């Protein structure tokens, strides 16, 4: 049978010029089948954007999941993070192997039935995500080194500057400048630094048996917990565009975070993401008005 590539991965690989990497996958998966004694099934559809993920089984570990991922910058420490959380709110990591500079493989606990949290109503999503975030935030373990949120924010701010160089409409120049500056400065003013997931949204939370919902696909960093609520806010596109301040206030309350600080973070992140997602400029404008930025 032809080698199956999940829809989201195929589309993203085409856009990002990663088709050569996709072509290496059949040989990589064959190697992993031998290494971890796996029977591998067809990949999950539509899947994520950066990894080939499929159900698998092995005589030692039973029903598991094989994730073969492109090693992009934010995801470098996924295995380390899963080891640190050790199944407390996340899937358990059973094995990990960096195959080369661009490919990493993870063997994971399988979530059954694996339904995405994004299939549930907004109120359920908000409650589950905030409950999981509050459990995941913990002092970074001494045994493992994680990168700082400051490092990630500086990198994203630099990339945003490059993208807007030369073609910013004058009306938005001040807003963008303020947003980028805030994105660089907020990490240093946090009142506590914890282990962060940074990519917790309702497509990265799956229905399971060991716990009702488990987190997959973390991109761990250490820093301000307020930052960690942002990805869920950005994924709630309709609510975000209609009433960003209302959404901030609701999620800050559920996560026991300072709403003013969450509003600042959202304003800054919307500015930084706006070159690739122009609707976020309007969200940033609304926030600037309502929280007095």
Ligand X SMILES: Nc1ncnc2c1ncn2[C@@H]1O[C@H](COP(=O)(O)OP(=O)(O)O)[C@@H](O)[C@H]1O
End-to-end distance of the chain based on CA atoms, in angstroms? 57
Under the criterion CB under 6 A, does residue 107 sit at the interface with ligand X? Answer: no
Under the criterion CB under 6 A, does residue 49 sit at the interface with ligand X? Answer: yes
Site string for ligand X, 144-183 (x = CB under 6 A): ----------------------------------------
Of 48-56, 153-161, 249-257, 269-277, the segment contacting ligand X by CB under 6 A is: 48-56
Return all residues near 194 (Cβ < 8 A) that are at least 6 apart.
137, 138, 139, 140, 222, 223, 225
Number of residues that bind ligand X (CB under 6 A): 21
- Restricting to residues 78-97, name those near ligand X by CB under 6 A: 91
Among 6, 47, 48, 179, interactor with Mg ion by CB under 5 A: 48
Of 42-50, 172-180, 239-247, 255-263, the segment contacting ligand X by CB under 6 A is: 42-50
CB 110 within 8 A of CB 44: no
Under the criterion CB under 6 A, does residue 65 sit at the interface with ligand X? Answer: yes
Residue 12 CA to residue 24 CA, distance in Å, equals: 16
Give the residue carrying structure tokens 């539509």.
46
Residue 157 CA to residue 269 CA, distance in Å, equals: 9
Q: What is the DSSP letter of 101?
A: S
Residue 86 tokens, joined: 């050790």
Give the angle subtended at the CA of 8 by the CAs of 206 and 71, to the nearest 5°.
80
217 vs 273 by CB, closer to Mg ion: 217
Under the criterion CB under 6 A, does residue 125 sit at the interface with ligand X? Answer: no
If contact means CB under 5 to 8 A according to the sort of partner, which of Mg ion, ligand X, none does residue 65 touch? ligand X
Shortest separation between residue 206's beta carbon and ligand X, angstroms: 5
Residue 102 CA to residue 268 CA, distance in Å, equals: 30
Under the criterion CB under 5 A, does residue 217 sit at the interface with Mg ion? Answer: yes
Of 93-101, 106-114, 141-149, 220-228, the segment contacting ligand X by CB under 6 A is: 106-114
- Choose the catalytic residue: 77, 98, 158, 199: 199
Under the criterion CB under 5 A, does residue 220 sit at the interface with Mg ion? Answer: no
Select from 141, 151, 249, 136 the least CA-distant residue to 196: 136
Under the criterion CB under 5 A, does residue 273 sit at the interface with Mg ion? Answer: no
Under the criterion CB under 6 A, does residue 50 sit at the interface with ligand X? Answer: yes
Residue 171 tokens, joined: 């009306």
Under the criterion CB under 6 A, does residue 204 sit at the interface with ligand X? Answer: yes
Q: Is 191 noted as a catalytic residue in this protein?
A: no
Among 29, 40, 53, 262, interactor with ligand X by CB under 6 A: 53
* Helical H segments across the chain, by residue range: 7-16, 19-35, 78-85, 122-136, 149-164, 170-185, 230-235, 237-242, 244-255, 259-273, 279-290
Residue 201 CA to residue 121 CA, distance in Å, equals: 14
Binding site for Mg ion (CB under 5 A): 48, 204, 217
Binding site for ligand X (CB under 6 A): 44, 47-51, 53, 65, 67, 69, 91, 108-111, 114, 203-204, 206, 216-217
The catalytic residues are 199
């Amino acid at each position: 049978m032809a080698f199956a590539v999940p829809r989201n991965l195929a589309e993203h690989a085409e856009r990002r010029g990663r088709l050569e990497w996709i072509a290496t996958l059949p040989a990589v998966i064959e190697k992993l089948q031998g290494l971890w004694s796996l029977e591998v099934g067809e990949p999950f559809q539509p899947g994520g954007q950066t990894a080939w993920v499929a159900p698998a089984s092995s005589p030692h570990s039973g029903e598991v999941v094989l994730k073969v991922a492109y090693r992009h910058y934010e995801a470098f420490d996924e295995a380390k993070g899963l080891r640190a959380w050790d199944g407390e709110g996340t899937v358990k990591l059973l094995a990990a192997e960096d195959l080369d500079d661009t490919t990493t493989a993870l063997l994971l606990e399988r979530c059954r039935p694996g339904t995405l949290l994004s299939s549930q109503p907004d109120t359920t999503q908000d409650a589950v995500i905030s409950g999981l975030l509050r459990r995941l935030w913990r002092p970074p373990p001494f045994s493992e080194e994680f990168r700082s949120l400051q490092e990630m924010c500086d990198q994203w701010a630099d990339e945003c500057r490059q993208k807007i160089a030369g073609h910013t409409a004058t009306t938005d120049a001040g807003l963008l400048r303020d947003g980028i500056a805030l994105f660089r400065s907020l990490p240093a003013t946090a009142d506590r630094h914890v282990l962060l997931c940074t990519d917790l949204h309702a497509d990265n939370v799956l229905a399971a048996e060991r716990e009702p919902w488990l987190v997959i696909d973390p991109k761990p960093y250490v820093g301000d917990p307020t930052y960690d609520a942002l990805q869920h806010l950005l994924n709630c596109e309709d609510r975000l565009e209609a009433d960003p301040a209302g959404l901030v206030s609701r999620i800050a309350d559920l996560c026991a975070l300072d709403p003013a600080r969450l509003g600042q973070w959202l304003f800054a992140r919307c500015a930084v993401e706006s070159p690739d997602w122009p609707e976020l400029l309007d969200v940033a404008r609304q926030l600037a008005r309502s929280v007095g930025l």
